[in-house]
Copies of this chain bind each other. A is one copy, B any other.
Amino acid sequence: MSTERTEINALGEFGLIDHLTQNNETRNASTILSVGDDAAVLDHFGKQIVVTSDMLVEGIHFDLMYTPLKHLGYKSVIVNLSDVYAMNATPTQITLNIAFSNRFSLEAMDEFYEGVYAACERYGVDLVGGDTTSSQKGFVISITAIGEVNQDKFVKRSTAKKGDLLCVSGFLGGAFLGLTILEREKRIFAETGAQPDLENQAYIVGRLLKPEARKDIVEFFAEKEIMPTSMIDVSDGLSSEALHICKQSNLGCVIYEDKIPIHEDARQFAYTLELDPTACALSGGEDYELLFTLSQTDYDKIVLNEQISVIGYMTEAEEGTHILTRGGNKHKLVAQGWNHMNHSQQ
């Protein structure tokens, strides 16, 4: 963090918004009017638009002890864009509301916004409005993302069909392991004052602190003319998300343990901690990969994409929701992961 410190109230609320949005650029033709009025104006020329909104709360969703504010700004945008991609849509605008106590300086806010703008730039999204306010305690971030999708090309959670392939992008479980190591090092620091030892853990720490949204997968679908039959982003762990698709599509599923994609670095670190890598993928969250179902006839279109793994298939609801282990055992899928609400109330 920068060593300068400017008190926010030296600027006032409007001065702060002016300051934080002075380098804000407009990238989308659909952004007719951006920050600086009562509302932004968008024109989607007959395309359908998607809207999603998420809130991140200090002490619940992030710990500023080991989360750089720039990364937090970046991630706050990513978690919302991920929901837009999970609709098979392209994000175009966001609004950003933040509440923060007076322990935050202007320099701290600048770092946070730097991350927000970096994500906006990378994903071609416009920041079109929002609100900054004070809080009595802590930092609260609320983002709404808007995206567009061609007429009736959006993909819901509820439209998977029996026999469809269950697929996931990238690798799972890494973010949970990143959280585990950061929490461990925080504890050690509190007890002994020892500096964090994160050597060789860049992959898993990066998965937690600087996730990406799977723009590439949605672009791949468009290029190959693939319409997933259902889709959801993996924010609460594979089990929880697979169960959402099953419940909302009124189906069951089978997942093969040996097909679940886990990065080698994540697997090694899990073994070091005597954790089961599969459990990390099933119940750890915040991977922001896409979980989707495909008609079997689309298999040829995805087989060469190394970013996509087929991990199972959809069944009748009566057959239940199961994972088949390497050892040949069949377990019921349980959503036990990453429920921020339960987590915080434990």
Contact = CB atoms under 8 A, between A and B. Distances in A.
A136 B146 CA distance: 29
B44 A49 contact: yes
Interface string A87-98: 101000101111
A133 interface: yes
A345 B7 CA distance: 11
A50 to B, nearest CB: 4
Interface string A307-344: 00000000000000000000000000000000111101
Contacts of A49: 41-44, 49
A60 B137 contact: no
Contacts of A38: 52, 83-84, 86-87, 157, 231-233
A196 interface: no
A312 B151 CA distance: 48
Nearest to A156: B37
A133 B344 CA distance: 9
Nearest to A87: B39
A8 to B, nearest CB: 7
A112 to B, nearest CB: 15
Contacts of A84: 38-39
Given A13-B340, A51-B128, A341-B8, A135 B41 contact: no
A131 interface: yes
A154 interface: yes
Nearest to A40: B51
B83 A134 contact: no
A248 B33 CA distance: 14
A57 interface: yes
A167 interface: no
A237 interface: no
B61 A39 contact: no
Contact of A60 (B134, B146, B339, B340): B134
Contacts of A48: 32, 41-43
Given A87-B37, A87-B38, A137-B138, A57 B339 contact: no
Contacts of A341: 8-9, 12-13, 16, 132-134
A295 interface: no
Contacts of A124: none
A146 B51 contact: yes
B51 A95 contact: yes
Interface of A: 8-9, 12-13, 16, 32-33, 36-46, 48-55, 57-61, 83-84, 86-87, 89, 93, 95-99, 102, 128-138, 140, 142, 144-147, 149, 151, 154, 156-158, 231-233, 248, 339-342, 344-345
Given A32-B154, A41-B48, A51-B146, 9 more contacts: A13-B342, A38-B52, A38-B84, A39-B83, A54-B131, A57-B135, A99-B140, A133-B340, A144-B144
29 contacts: A9-B342, A13-B342, A32-B154, A36-B157, A36-B158, A37-B87, A37-B158, A38-B232, A39-B50, A39-B51, A39-B83, A39-B87, A41-B51, A41-B87, A43-B49, A43-B151, A46-B46, A51-B95, A51-B129, A55-B140, A55-B142, A59-B136, A60-B134, A99-B140, A133-B340, A134-B341, A134-B345, A140-B142, A144-B144
